[in-house]
Structure 1
Amino acid sequence: MQKPLLVTDFLDRARDYYGDQEAVVATTGERYSYDELGDRADRVSAALAERGIEKGDRVAVLDPNTHYHLEAAYGIMQLGAVHTPLNYRLTPDDFAYILDDAEVKAVVADYEYAEKIEAVRDEIPTEVFISNDGGSTDGDWEDFDDVIADADPDDYQRPEMAEDEVITINYTSGTTGDPKGVMRTHRTETLHAYLITIHQELRDDDVYLWTLPMFHVNGWGHIYAVTGMGAKHVCTRGVDAGEIFDAIVAEDVSYFCAAPTVLNLLVEQYESTSPQTTGTNDVRVATAGSAPPEATIRTVEDEFGWYLKHVYGATETGPLITTSDARRLLGDGEERFSLKKRQGIPYLGTEVAVVDEDGEDVPRDDQSIGEIVVRGNQVMEGYWNKPEATEETFNERREGWYHTGDLAVVDENGMVSIQDRKKDIIISGGENISSIEIEDTLFDHDAVADVAVIPAPSDEWGETPKAFVVPASGNPDEPGVTEDEIREFTKEHMASYKAVGRVEFVEELPATATGKIQKYELREQEWGDEDRMVGQG
């Protein structure tokens, strides 16, 4: 028997078997059961249908981790429309590009971020604008609660859907040019959610705290998995270390995700205020992005009493494809802390290889470096309207495998460890940042003659962008501009998280005979005695 894998099945299951159980703790204080969450999602579906949204249309959601995001996502997908979550840290120009590229017909936006859409309203094809607080949103925006109050949940028809149809588009951070829309089908989303249910050990009595942004590959699939299991969502509007500890105790949180930078914030809060770290439930925490330092892992496990899972992936791969939570390989000695920093072994049903320039596996000697490639049921369908980029990323070294651009070694047990990056990507606080994009911005500054941007180690963020600037004056001692002015220039022209963190004025940049900048030399200089040139806090 073959049953289509559809993302709508997750909420359907929760409504069938956990209908009267608490589903969502809202940031506004309300608590909703799965019956109530389902009813609100049905009303979103009906309201969107009334406004002309049909199967296949793209609908964007710009929202922090509130109940509105969950309701909108399922309301969109129940129509067979394409859920297109947006990173609320982006600029209006970024939104203009994405909304135009995806030909988005409707936007559901949080009141705190709607002004960024309003600023480019005349540049985009979008026709429907809904805010979760229409009264606090400038411009012609409908109010979310009013919209669903006026909608009849029985007024929409769920269309026939197939598992190979695209149901979400997640835009990358534009690390190699304009952002690319990663197309994900019902099948890829469903199977990825199954995998995290297994490897993250999700249960129906879990209480999940939303610290990981829901826009990040649909919250790594937790909008599906937590819902389908009938577990509880605890929503947030951002990351505050004190509030995280408070929520863990007050709501008996059992599981959440935290980038290494968030773990660092929690460690600092713990050291300064000694908060209670658990409620009645044991706590699991997943981290991804730059590997956390051993000291952080030790504090989280030995002092907080939590169990840490280090996972790895990319927007294009689901994202999760590997885990260091291989307990029989980790053992129970002190070496487990260094092993947990590794990206680890593949998820079930996932093939991960580290290959050389010819596409052959590198030896498992923990020294030979190759590129991580992957194939699995959670890997994307392709890039929206970018067939050439899709073809390249699946076939560069090994045909039919997604190429991550991350360079790694493999130990004797097959555990992968990233050493460096093939592409000029900086991961700061869990966000991907293009060094090329920062360089292009800085070239517009009159005082900059040449510039190279690399990741520099940061205790707070894992990595931070550092700019090596050759001043137009030709004299690094009298550059005609200050470091603060360079930083502020990038903040004014880019999303704030992409701004340069450090600046160094130099007489010249290291280059090959053909003039190509040798960033590797700059990275070696910057990272010094670090054991690998990728952020580890």
Structure 2
Amino acid sequence: MHYPLTVMDFLDRATTVYPDRVAVIDEPDQPADSWGEITYAELGRRARSQAATLDELGVPVGGRVAIVSHNSARLLASFYGVSGWGRVLVPVNFRLAVAEIRYIIEHSGAEVMLVDPDLRHLVDEIDCPHVFVLGEDDDKIWGSSAEPRPWVGDEAATATINYTSGTTARPKGVQLTHRNLWLNATVFGWQASVSDRDVYLHTLPMFHANGWGHPFTATGMGATHVVIRQIDGTEILRRIERHGVTYLCAAPAVVASALDAAKTWEGDIPGRDRVRIIVAGAPPPTRTIERVRDELGWEFIQIYGLTETSPLLTMSRMRAEWDDLEPHQQAVNLGRAGAPAIGVRMRIDDSGEVLAQSNHNLASYWANPEATAEAQAGNWFHTGDGGTIEDGYVTIADRKKDVIITGGENVSSIEVEDALMSHPSVKEVAVIGIPDEKWGELITALVVLDPDEDTVDQAGLIAHCREHLAGYKCPKRIDFRDELARTATGKLQKFKLREEFWKGHDRQVN
């Protein structure tokens, strides 16, 4: 017999086995009223109410519901209230510029848009048939007492569309199916040892690859979710101490903030010998791994993947064979991207690109068959990253796509270049990532000015970018050059431009 795998399996188990357990401890400082602490039974009730509301609005199975929100219990509930009854959730990066959010709403064909109270201005700036402000319109979103219409589950149906920058100026919508999300969540949870004794801190944005799947993983095991809205190192330590947090997922910038906060923390570091931190976004320096293990006393786990892979492809975690190694060598080993997760196959093609086969891989890019065919050529997903495989472990050596990973977010260099080139004083520009201890990679623009219009300075160009791009996409450093290295056919030679900044590094990611 065959039964479909759907995301509701995770909430159904939690409401059946752990109905009276605290499911979510919401951020207390939400701009709207916080949900406080709610049980799994109550989370299930609110998911059903949200689904019934979508019934009443006439949103069909397969209809898209976009949500633009910071981390919140309302966003967590929407993974189930929307996708659990056959609609498609479109979690949108709240840090994007209005024009970028508008493009995603229009491109996805969303019929409903839910917005964070701090983003209320989007109501007037973006057209969508149904728009609600989280908190202010809760009675309209979660107020229905009707039972939602049953959905005959289909594991091949799209559950979420997650927009990612990629290598082109326009973001691509990654279609992830219920099967993709289900298998990612279960494999990830198994290999990260998630159990019903865990307390999970949402330091990772839930919009980012669906929080790497942990809104599903933690729920299915009955773990308690602790929501944090603004990332601050001291507050992370405080929440870990207050709520008994046992694991969290983090980009390198979050790791840096926790390490910085530990320097001035009074008393024992919270979670020592209890917390495990799962890191991805860019391979952290060996010294950072050593500091996490020594100064914080937390277990360090690294994963590698992309939004297109749900995201789990590989995991690097301590193993028995390394117990007798010196701590420095253990950290070196943990600095690799990791060994393939169960059910994942990896190989390196003749050009050095990392390829993957997995049941977590995307179904397709939304309304973009050309990009889909390119990414899935030969029945392998093409990551765009260069690397090696040795003793079963993948190491990422460079990035074939012109994507900069800063603070765990993907930024298209081409998109930033387009914004800079729209300034009348800019004649040529190349945008690259350079190593940075806090951000992993610092967005850096190498600019050649037009000799007739050369009055602009760094501050002026960055301000110009902010008119077109989200703040995190704007360059934090601008170097003015007389010329840029190009091939005989006029193509930029970015590898030459990167050389001066990456001397002493054995790989061109940080």
Query: Cα deviation per residue 1:396-421 (whole Å; 9 max; x = unaligned)?
Result: xxx1000000001222x121111111
Are 2:152 and 1:152 aligned? no
Q: Tell me how far 1:120 sits from its aligned partner.
A: 2.1
Q: Does the 8 Å contact 2:310/2:360 carry over to 1? A: yes
Of 479-488 and 419-428, deviating more is 479-488
Match of 1:503 among 468, 475, 478: 478
Instruction: Find the aligned partners of 1:328 and 1:527 in 2 and give their Cα distance.
Output: 34
CA 1:20–1:281: 2 relative to 1, 3 Å: farther
Q: Does the 8 Å contact 2:6/2:182 carry over to 1? A: yes
Are 2:408 and 1:430 aligned? yes
Instruction: Find the aligned partners of 1:275 and 1:430 in 2 and give their Cα distance.
Output: 30
What does 1:294-313 align with in structure 2 at a 5 Å threshold? Answer: 294-313=286-305
Task: Give the structure 2 partner of residue 291 of structure 1.
Answer: 283
Instruction: Find the aligned partners of 1:531 and 1:373 in 2 and give their Cα distance.
Output: 21
Sequence identity percentage: 40
Query: Cα deviation per residue 1:233-290 (whole Å; 9 max; x = unaligned)?
Result: 0011121111100000000000001111111111111113346422598101000011
The number of residues matched between the two structures is 502
Q: Does the 8 Å contact 2:175/2:365 carry over to 1? A: yes
Query: Cα deviation per residue 1:273-312 (whole Å; 9 max; x = unaligned)?
Result: 3464225981010000111112211111112110010101
Instruction: Find the aligned partners of 1:384 and 1:514 in 2 and give their Cα distance.
Output: 34
Instruction: Find the aligned partners of 2:15 and 2:427 in 1 and give their Cα distance.
Output: 61
Instruction: Find the aligned partners of 2:266 and 2:313 in 1 and give their Cα distance.
Output: 35
What does 1:155-194 align with in structure 2 at a 5 Å threshold? Answer: 156-194=148-186
Task: Give the structure 1 partner of residue 387 of structure 2.
Answer: 408
CA 1:329–1:517: 2 relative to 1, 3 Å: farther
What does 1:63-102 align with in structure 2 at a 5 Å threshold? Answer: 63-102=69-108
Q: For 2:418, what is the secondary structure of its paired residue?
A: helix
Q: Tell me how far 1:129 sits from its aligned partner.
A: 1.3
Instruction: Find the aligned partners of 1:147 and 1:301 in 2 and give their Cα distance.
Output: 44
What are the ranges of 5 or more consecutive residues in structure 2 without an aligned counterpart?
A: 29-33
CA 1:294–1:117: 2 relative to 1, 3 Å: farther
Are 2:349 and 1:355 aligned? yes
Scaled by the length of structure 1, the TM-score of the pair is 0.91
Task: Give the structure 2 partner of residue 392 of structure 1.
Answer: 374
Q: Does the 8 Å contact 1:251/1:279 carry over to 2? A: no
Q: Tell me how far 1:354 sits from its aligned partner.
A: 1.4
What are the ranges of 5 or more consecutive residues in structure 1 without an aligned counterpart?
A: 135-142, 358-369
Instruction: Find the aligned partners of 2:407 and 2:165 in 1 and give their Cα distance.
Output: 13
CA 1:175–1:90: 2 relative to 1, 3 Å: farther
Q: For 2:478, what is the secondary structure of its paired residue?
A: strand
What does 1:73-472 align with in structure 2 at a 5 Å threshold? Answer: 73-121=79-127, 126-134=128-136, 143-145=137-139, 147-149=141-143, 151-154=144-147, 156-274=148-266, 276-279=268-271, 282-325=274-317, 327-328=319-320, 330-331=322-323, 332-333=325-326, 334-357=328-351, 370-395=352-377, 399-411=378-390, 413-472=391-450
CA 1:392–1:119: 2 relative to 1, 3 Å: same
Q: Tell me how far 1:153 sits from its aligned partner.
A: 4.1
Q: For 1:39, what is the secondary structure of its paired residue?
A: helix
Tell me which amino acid in the other structure corresponds to 2:382.
Answer: H
Q: For 2:304, what is the secondary structure of its paired residue?
A: strand
Instruction: Find the aligned partners of 2:27 and 2:41 in 1 and give their Cα distance.
Output: 19
Are 2:16 and 1:16 aligned? yes
Instruction: Find the aligned partners of 1:530 and 1:420 in 2 and give their Cα distance.
Output: 11
Instruction: Find the aligned partners of 1:197 and 1:110 in 2 and give their Cα distance.
Output: 29
Q: Does the 8 Å contact 1:73/1:83 carry over to 2? A: yes
Are 2:466 and 1:484 aligned? no
Q: Does the 8 Å contact 2:53/2:140 carry over to 1? A: no
Instruction: Find the aligned partners of 1:288 and 1:267 in 2 and give their Cα distance.
Output: 16
Task: Give the structure 2 partner of residue 524 of structure 1.
Answer: 499
Q: Tell me how far 1:473 sits from its aligned partner.
A: 1.5
Of 45-54 and 345-354, deviating more is 45-54
Query: Cα deviation per residue 1:464-510 (whole Å; 9 max; x = unaligned)?
Result: 11111111118xxx942212212222122210000011111111111
Task: Give the structure 2 partner of residue 26 of structure 1.
Answer: 26
Q: For 2:190, what is the secondary structure of its paired residue?
A: helix
Task: Give the structure 2 partner of residue 35 of structure 1.
Answer: 41
Scaled by the length of structure 2, the TM-score of the pair is 0.95
Q: Tell me how far 1:117 sits from its aligned partner.
A: 4.6
Q: Tell me how far 1:327 sits from its aligned partner.
A: 1.4
Instruction: Find the aligned partners of 2:386 and 2:318 in 1 and give their Cα distance.
Output: 21
Instruction: Find the aligned partners of 1:336 and 1:500 in 2 and give their Cα distance.
Output: 35
Q: Does the 8 Å contact 2:355/2:380 carry over to 1? A: yes
